[in-house]
Amino acid sequence: MSATLVEEPLLQLRGFRNLFVAAAVSQLGSQISYVALPLLAVTALGAGPGEVGLLSALGTLTVLLLGLPAGAWVDRVRRRPVMIGTDLLRAGALLSVPVAWWGGWLSMGQLYAVAVLVGAGSLLFDVASLSLVPGLVGRERLTSANSLLVGTGAAMDIAGRSGAGVLVQVAGAPVAVLADALSYLWSAAWLRTVNERPATDQLPFREREPLGRQIGAGVRFLFGNQILVSALVQGTMANLAFPLCSVLLPVLIVERLGYPEWVLGAYLAVGGLGALAGSSAAHLIGRRFGSGRAAWLVSLATAPASLVIPFLDRGPWLWAAAAAWFVLAFRTGVNNVLLVSLRQRVTPDDLLGRMTATMRLLLMGALGLGGLLAAALGEVWGIRSALWLGALIMALSWIPFLFSPLRRHP
């Protein structure tokens, strides 16, 4: 990449700009469905904690089946067509929900199927997207690019989640799901104009190499790198904890505590604000302390906030829990920028898809397991038991960094 291209503002790079716009609109719609689908299950189908937890878990558990083959496949092909195809897949799956609701035959089985299809599409899209970014901006600009992408995603979280509660209350959950489907169509249209740079297009030709051998090479690379392993363990703990603290909130806030839907959307939007603040500050924090050390220090400093979440209740405790949610999301915003950039920098181009997919296999698998645990604990011991387990795991999730070389990584 030439010096002139390196100095050019990121959003003046046509390929990155179009990817940025597509991802932003898609993220906005996804956050609407994040609120609307479980609310639809609760309000229209009478779903309980177990069904809501399973709905959350299915999309992420799909990664357990497809994660490793997805990475090897993405490393064989051009990434842009994969992203467009998965946008269309997710749009079609989500469009079926309002059609079924208006036709009177919507069921939890259909919502489960939609969760699986959207989860599979999101897996392939994210693996391809993360593998595409280094070729669009250059490795020396990954932290800045990821800060912009993660920060914008957090802003879309705020708009999507807060707007979703209002949209569901005014127009109904099916209309909110329809808005998400349209956002994926918009994303696909913008991705048509993304040109993959030579760093992506000129990967070695590997179609005749056995898929199992490719998968094995990616797994060995990840687990042979101590920086990647420590980032993986920390992320797995955090991803296990977050659904325990969040997937049963529609039942707790709307059904048990009696708040209107917009309060749930506002609570979740506070997390978007935290992630936005964290991703915006990540570049400065990383430059001050070093990327790895910054991730560790921020994780340690924010750990106590998780212990406030289980006290969520009416009155002041709602606001205290929301403030704690902001702090935890701030940490997530910082780590998403710094650790994703580190992962991309230490991984060769021809292993990016497999490294990313292996990471997602375990990280998203942890999200799915957290959703299942939340469902089981919510049914057997009550919603607050799930909140307490999630809080304790989150409070300890800085420990994998303690003896890791990641702490000293620039």
Q: Note the pLDDT tens digit of each residue in 260-307.
A: 777 777 787 787 788 878 877 887 887 788 777 888 888 888 888 888
The mean pLDDT value for 214-238 works out to: 82
Is the pTM for the entire model greater than 0.85? Answer: no
pLDDT digits (tens, 9 = 90+) for 164-185: 666 766 677 788 788 888 888 8
**Predicted confidence (pLDDT) at residue 207 exceeds the cutoff of 60:** no
Classify residue 166 as exposed, middle or buried by CB count within 10 Å of its CB (0-12, 13-18, 19+). Answer: middle
pLDDT grade for 88, boundaries at 50, 70 and 90: very high
8-state DSSP, 224: T
Contacts of residue 101, Cβ cutoff 8 Å, sequence gap at least 6: 40, 44, 174
Higher pLDDT, 232 or 77: 232
Question: Which amino acid is it at 39?
Answer: L
Dihedral pair phi/psi, residue 206, rounded to 5°: -130, 15
Cα dist. 394→13, 61, 107, 264, 323 in Å?
38, 20, 34, 21, 16
How far is it, in rounded angstroms, from Cα 223 to Cα 219?
6
pLDDT digits (tens, 9 = 90+) for 242-257: 888 887 777 777 777 7
pLDDT grade for 92, boundaries at 50, 70 and 90: very high
**Predicted confidence (pLDDT) at residue 107 exceeds the cutoff of 50:** yes
pLDDT grade for 210, boundaries at 50, 70 and 90: low
**Predicted confidence (pLDDT) at residue 4 exceeds the cutoff of 60:** no
Cα dist. 306→7, 166, 299, 325, 392 in Å?
40, 27, 11, 8, 7
Contacts of residue 224, Cβ cutoff 8 Å, sequence gap at least 6: none
**Predicted confidence (pLDDT) at residue 199 exceeds the cutoff of 60:** no
Buried b (16+ CB within 10 A) or exposed e, 20-47: bbbbbbbbbbbbbbbbbbbbbbbbeeeb
pLDDT grade for 69, boundaries at 50, 70 and 90: confident
pLDDT the model gives residue 104: 84
